[in-house]
Structure 1
Amino acid sequence: MPFDRRGLLALGALAATGAAIPSGVRAQGFPNRALTIVVPFAPGGNTDLVGRIVATALGKALGQSVVVDNRPGAGGAIGAGQVARSAPDGHTLLLAGAGVIVTVPEMTSTPYTRADFAPLSLVNRSSMVVLARSGDERLRSFADLAAYARSGEGKLNAGHSGPGTPNHLALLQLENLLGTKFTVVSYRGSGPALSDLLGGQIDVHFDQVTSALPHIRSGALRALAVLGPANDAALPDVRTVSQLGFGEVDGTTYIGLLVPARTPKELRDRLSDAIREAVADPQMVKSARDLGSEAYAGTAEEFARILEAEHALSSRATKEGRLKAD
């Protein structure tokens, strides 16, 4: 067959403009270069730590290198917006939870909506804990925190990982449960918040076990309670808020991978299969356990249901004025 230069140029023009190209054409030779997982939070936090073990396992499954690109800010909206605008060729993925996709857009104007993304698979779930410095004698237990918080509004400086994140929602749940208000400090990820907690700039922080565990094990931070329906295997001696008699707070965090919604189904299916293989890899299972979380390969459909449930909760909280951007 003769070489069709004009046809090749036309195909290149379509790719450059992001126009639809038949999935069979896009899938040929995929992946043909390194993939990028955009983490919309600063290094050192839960999503970043999970992203790095996912990148290693996914690279092994695909036979191609996978790099992590941290793009923090605006509760995850900066990184998510970058992925929403990226070429739908399967080489750029977003690692995020429901907060970035559905909660942040409820709170503020974002360069994307939930419809701009296609969920591929969940990859991890983890418990959340409320933390204090080990040397803070005011807060030796969760009961101390409750009593101190109730003694006067605004007395405790409480940090979270960004507007609309699960950490933020857990903080709001605890405020409601205790009938009090914290002086809330928002960060661009767990890493900076943990640094300020360790340095004494804030009193408590709401964080996933994954990013908090090294500081708990070192003795620098104290886990006052697990914010979830059950004890966490990594912290068997730390009781849940419910077990302590204060009611229910569920901060279980699910994280998954998404791509631009315009990505052809053939590529999405190829990536989903590779992600399931990656999450089942014994090394990733062990790495997730060592972090204090669980490698969890929930399906795209399960991820979509989690997004829908989170949207219902955040939409109601926003309408009630309880969830606002900083």
Structure 2
Amino acid sequence: MTIQRRQLLKLGAVAAASGALGSHAWAQAFPSRPVTLVVPFAPGGNTDIVARTVAVALGKVLGQSVIVDNRAGAGGSIGAAQVARAAPDGYTLLLCGAGVVVTVPEMVKTSYGRTNFAPLGLVNKSSMVLLARKDETRFKNFKEFAAYARSGEGKLTAAHSGPGTPNHLALLQLESLLKTKFTIVSYKGSGPALIDLIGGQIDVHFDQVPSALQHIKGGALQALAVLGPTQDPLLPGVQTVSELGFGSIDGTTYVGVLAPSGTPKDVQDKLAAALAQAVKDPQTVNSARELGSVALSSTPQEFGRILEAEYALAAQATKDGRLKVD
């Protein structure tokens, strides 16, 4: 080996080591300034409330402020697109449900896809329920509802809170389980759908427990079944669709945090560990309980599996022509 080649190899090794040390030192220094947590929905909703509680707890763990930035519109795609094109340095994160990054791109053309994001972990989950008016006379429980739904396609008007939402996917899953079709009505959020359900303009609505709980407790609505793997502790005695003998359906709504996919692994690991710690903060736990949801931490891999499962549902529904913008 020539002297020149040995010198070049030595310089290369030194440069590589220097680069590795530099990357490690940079990761150790992270974060050195405030972190932005983008919420792709308007202020005041369940996701926004979850984000603000998590942001406070995460800021404590990281030793830096975590600023919530609401970027609402287009089913969450405006905020998601902002994070997808942000510098992959760990300072711009996205908090949302799985649908924003895996379902919306299946329905409309977006500048991003699920591969543009790296899941860091879950922060919250809530059960979904099938709701009807308390004074409904055609069916008093889920079995009677199922029989009525099967008696004639299109008889029942079933609402969800927007195209591509977990509520929409749950409705499509239930159609498949019952081998029937509903007259589907799409709303821009749970609030208007709940008002119309109480007013008698629609027959049933698929909604999360946090949004529905006050109306159930107030006596205006009844929960026919929980659309999830287990019963919800806030709805004692309300059985799951599976427990009632109609097959498995999971309408659980998961909320998590993601980073741009090019974010360095060391920074992802640091954020994931900090996030898991923040979710266990008593304030985060209590706030979730007050909302009617559950503070839930996970590994990035567990969140990733949830994203892939929802993507499979959305992709199949799109292939069947059942998932589309109204």
Q: Structure 1-normalised TM-score?
A: 0.82
CA distance in 2, matches of 1:61, 1:321: 45
**Matched position secondary structure for 1:130:** strand
Does residue 308 in structure 1 map to residue 318 in structure 2? Answer: no
Q: 1:314 to 1:192 in 2, by over 3 A?
A: same
Alpha-carbon distance in 2 for matches of 1:232, 1:152: 31
Letter in 2 for 1:215: H
Offset at residue 268 of structure 1 (A): 2.2
Distance 2:64 2:195 in 1: 34
Q: Which residue of 2 aligns with 1:30?
A: 31
Q: Residue 229 of structure 1: CA displacement?
A: 1.9
Structure 2 counterpart of 1:87: 87
CA distance in 2, matches of 1:219, 1:45: 23
Q: Which residue of 2 aligns with 1:127?
A: 127
Partner of residue 291, structure 1: 291
| Cα pair distance change 1:111/1:32, threshold 3 Å | same
State the Cα deviation string for residues 171-214 of structure 1 (Å, max 9, x = none). 00111122222222223443443344344443322122223223
Separation (CA, whole Å) in 1 of partners of 2:219 and 2:28: 50
CA spacing shift, 1:210–1:66, aligned 2, 3 Å: farther
Supply the AA of the counterpart residue of 1:32: R
The answer as to whether partners of 1:42 and 1:189 remain within 8 angstroms in 2 is: no
- Structure 2 SS opposite 1:257: strand
> CA offsets, 1:121-156, max 9 Å, x none?
111222211112334444532234324433433333
Distance 2:239 2:151 in 1: 23
Q: Scaled by the length of structure 2, what TM-score is found?
A: 0.82
- Could you tell me which residue of structure 2 aligns to residue 233 of structure 1? 233
Q: Mind listing any 5+ residue stretches in structure 1 that lack a counterpart?
A: 1-20
Deviation at 1:323, TM superposition (A): 2.4
Retained in 1: the 8 A contact 2:142–2:224?
yes
Correspondence for 1:18: none
CA distance in 1, matches of 2:43, 2:161: 12
2: CA distance between counterparts of 1:261 and 1:45? 27
Cα shift at 1:258: 0.4
Q: Which amino acid aligns with 2:38?
A: V
Match of 1:103 in 2: 103
Match of residue 208 from structure 1: 208
Amino acid paired to 2:277:
E
> Aligned equivalents of 2:65 and 2:197: distance in 1?
35
Q: How many angstroms does 1:45 deviate by?
A: 4.7
Structure 1 residue 31: Cα displacement: 4.7
Please identify, of 302-311 and 121-130, the stretch whose mean Cα deviation from structure 2 is larger. 302-311
- Equivalent positions of 1:1-326 (< 5 A) are 24-25=25-26, 28=29, 30-33=31-34, 35-43=35-43, 45-326=45-326
Asked if the contact 2:31/2:62 (under 8 Å) is kept, the reply is no
- SS of the equivalent of 1:267 reads helix
**Structure 1 residue 115, shift from structure 2 partner:** 1.5
SS of equivalent to 1:315: helix
Shift of 1:263: 2.5
Question: Considering only CA atoms, is the larger Rg found in Structure 1 or Structure 2?
Answer: 2
> Kindly tell me: are residues 291 and 264 of structure 1, through their superposed partners in 2, closer, same or farther at Cα, counting changes over 3 Å?
same
1:23 deviates by 7.6
Q: Mind listing any 5+ residue stretches in structure 2 that lack a counterpart?
A: 1-21
Distance 1:114 1:227 in 2: 25
Give the whole-Å Cα distance in 1 for the aligned partners of 2:32 and 2:133: 45
Percent identity, aligned pairs only, is 67
Q: Quick one: which amino acid aligns to residue 109 of structure 1?
A: K
| 1:154-176 deviation line (CA, Å, top 9, x unaligned) | 33332223222221111001111
Structure 1 residues 296 and 194: CA distance shift in structure 2, 3 A: same
Task: Evaluate the alpha carbon distance shift between residue 269 and residue 148 of structure 1 in structure 2; reply closer, same or farther with a 3 A threshold.
Answer: same
Segment drifting more, 293-302 vs 93-102: 93-102
Change (3 A) 1:42 1:171: farther
SS at match of 1:234: coil
Aligned length: 305
- Classify the secondary structure of the residue corresponding to 1:132: strand
Structure-2 residue corresponding to 1:15: none
Amino acid of the structure 1 residue aligned with 2:179: G
Range with greater deviation from structure 2 (274-283 or 285-294): 285-294
| Farther off after superposition, 179-188 or 299-308 | 179-188
Contact 1:94-1:258 at 8 Å conserved across structures: yes
